[in-house]
Amino acid sequence: MQTNSIKTKPFKDQKPGTSGLRKPVKTFQKAHYLENFVQAIFDTLPEKQGAKLALGGDGRYYNREAILTIIHMAAANGIGELMIGKSGILSTPAASHIIRKYELDGGIILSASHNPGGPDKDFGIKFNTPNGGPAAEKITDAIYQKTLEISEYKIAEAQPCNIDKVGEFQYGDLLVRVIDSVVDYSELMQSLFDFNLIRDYLARPDTQILFDAMHAVTGPYAEMIFNDILGCPKNAILRADPLPDFGGGHPDPNLAHAKQLVDTLFADAGPTFGAASDGDGDRNMILGHQCFVTPSDSLAILTANATQIPAYKNGLAGVARSMPTSAAVDKVAEKLNIPCYETPTGWKFFGNLLDAGKITLCGEESFGTGSSHVREKDGLWAVLFWLNLLAVKKQPVSDIVQQHWQQFGRNAYVRHDYEAIENDAANSLVDSLINQLGSLPGKRLGIYDVQYADEFRYEDPIDGSISEHQGIRIGFEDGSRIIYRLSGTGTQGATLRVYLETYTTDDNKLKKDANELLKPLAKISTELAQIEHFTQREQPTVIT
């Protein structure tokens, strides 16, 4: 096996975002582009020689080609072992589990999560550390610095590896182990939940579930768990086969992009329970018959009922949510007398809290929920948690939600996304808002009195690291909030996210549509930020 050192030059656009480096496929296909970034990852490993890494992705276009390139680069760089998902398939939560279970030195995950796939769509790559979680900013900053200094990368000349067959292959000193990660992941889920109880619940004649895998990575995992282990019929899973372009769809589990699932659940004779997961398997959407559970409410409800689940029967150490996520879980934590932490958006911020044993459950409004079992959000875990809860309570999803609101109050919540707006326009909008912050406290906006207005700043309670400029918050005296934040997960232009939240214990409002309850705040949010002026958009691209 011959090893070559290839001369290269830096690319200036390889700074990772909140979830790694995401770019159009055509960018990654440029000569040396992928190789430069992978070499930067290898060069920042504490111990590169003999390192053991997980490798795989969500099966999107360019996944296989990237894996074969990384294998050859790993062989040339002295990596000791690569543990690869069969056919290159490795969900993000499964990758986290593999890293932790086999005590690896980290993992390279190939995914652009919920972004669309295909030759003209998106690709992504990120590095996870030995705890199984996304690399902290100090590591991604070091990787980025390496990309700015790189002058060559190492790659071996060798026959392509057969990643479609479970087994072991040797490339010089590199051991390549192709594994079926579905087995490892399903065993983990069975250790957390009462599968016998869930199986009995699913066998009831009045129970029908529908899971939408969105032609993404969770298809094989769902088939083993729901079909093979829990005994659900084959038609309980929609779009089960992973496709490079996700079947032409957008693998984002929300009301807009999982339309067939939503329409089926909201039909008069719809199923009891519905759920979907995203491109790389870390997000989830939960539905009952004619009922959508917001991710914020889902986290709060799971927290309130955690002790009814085997893995959490002894209680929770604490909980955490991202800043834009509604304060619904705060109400539960207060009643349970456990800590509740507010972090910036990005799952890596939960990692220190989980590793320190400060929290057990965590979640974010962008359809992500998880626990201490891995260091990533986990779509199928959330679905199984809900099924275990339904099996215990034997109530419709809508009843569980309403009873929760009766007990804790309701944080009515909506997110408005303005996608693919020009970066200059987005930055001008944010700058304009920041310039207003000092004058807002004490003002009356519509029917609301401003209590505070600031940019969210986070000091990590474990390592003391500071994260600035994490979103603009406008809080009102009655607990309502407007949050503005530019998302770091897109590849085209900027995405402005506007989060609206109001709290109520009024019985008359507990069953009202959230959009109706939040109309006054929506009007204030658009006028205050001059959204139409800066973006030339009269309406959001997506409302969830």
102 and 210 within one domain: no
Residue 341 CA to residue 322 CA, distance in Å, equals: 8
- Beta-carbon contacts of 408 under 8 Å, excluding residues fewer than 6 positions away, are 300, 304, 328, 331, 332, 335
Number of domains in the chain: 3
115 and 64 within one domain: yes
pLDDT surpasses 90 at 492: no
N- to C-terminal Cα distance for the chain?
53
Percent residues over pLDDT 70 in the chain: 99
Band (pLDDT 50/70/90 cuts) for residue 544 is: confident
pLDDT, residue 11, reads: 98
Asked if 282 and 378 touch (Cβ cutoff 8 Å), the reply is yes
- Beta-carbon contacts of 487 under 8 Å, excluding residues fewer than 6 positions away, are 417, 494, 495, 496, 497
162 and 24 within one domain: yes
Lowest mean pLDDT among 211-215, 272-276, 508-512: 508-512
Question: In CATH, what number is assigned to the domain containing residue 539?
Answer: 3.30.310.50
| 163-172 LR contacts (CB < 8 Å, sep 24+) | 163/64, 163/67, 163/68, 163/84, 163/86, 163/87, 163/88, 164/86, 164/87, 165/86, 166/86, 171/1, 171/71, 171/72, 171/74, 171/75, 172/1, 172/75
pLDDT, residue 256, reads: 87
- Compute the radius of gyration of the chain from its Cα atoms: 23
420 and 303 within one domain: no
209 and 159 within one domain: no
Q: What is the pTM of this model?
A: 0.94
Percent residues over pLDDT 90 in the chain: 93
Band (pLDDT 50/70/90 cuts) for residue 159 is: confident
402 and 520 within one domain: no
Domain span holding position 529: 410-543
pLDDT, residue 51, reads: 98
pLDDT, residue 542, reads: 84
Strand 448-455 versus strand 152-157 pairing type: unpaired
Band (pLDDT 50/70/90 cuts) for residue 488 is: low
pLDDT, residue 490, reads: 54
310 and 263 within one domain: yes
364 and 280 within one domain: yes
382 and 414 within one domain: no
pLDDT surpasses 90 at 19: no
pLDDT tens, position by position, 36-84:
999 999 999 999 999 999 999 999 999 999 999 999 999 999 999 999 9
Token duo for residue 365: 């409004």
450 and 357 within one domain: no
228 and 292 within one domain: yes
Question: Among residues 135, 160, 179, which one ends one of the domains?
Answer: 179
Annotated catalytic residues are 113
Start-end of H helices in 150-217: 181-192, 195-202
Start-end of H helices in 193-322: 195-202, 218-222, 259-265, 295-304
Round the average pLDDT of the chain to a whole number and report it: 96
pLDDT surpasses 70 at 491: no
- Beta-carbon contacts of 202 under 8 Å, excluding residues fewer than 6 positions away, are 209, 230, 231, 232, 387
* CB neighbourhood size of 209 (10 A): 23
Question: Among residues 179, 201, 220, which one ends one of the domains?
Answer: 179
Question: In CATH, what number is assigned to the domain containing residue 227?
Answer: 3.40.120.10
Question: Among residues 385, 408, 431, which one ends one of the domains?
Answer: 408
pLDDT surpasses 80 at 476: yes
Q: Report how far apart, in Å, the C-alpha atoms of 92 and of each of 128, 205, 216, 217 are.
A: 10, 34, 12, 9
Residue 140 CA to residue 143 CA, distance in Å, equals: 5
448 and 387 within one domain: no
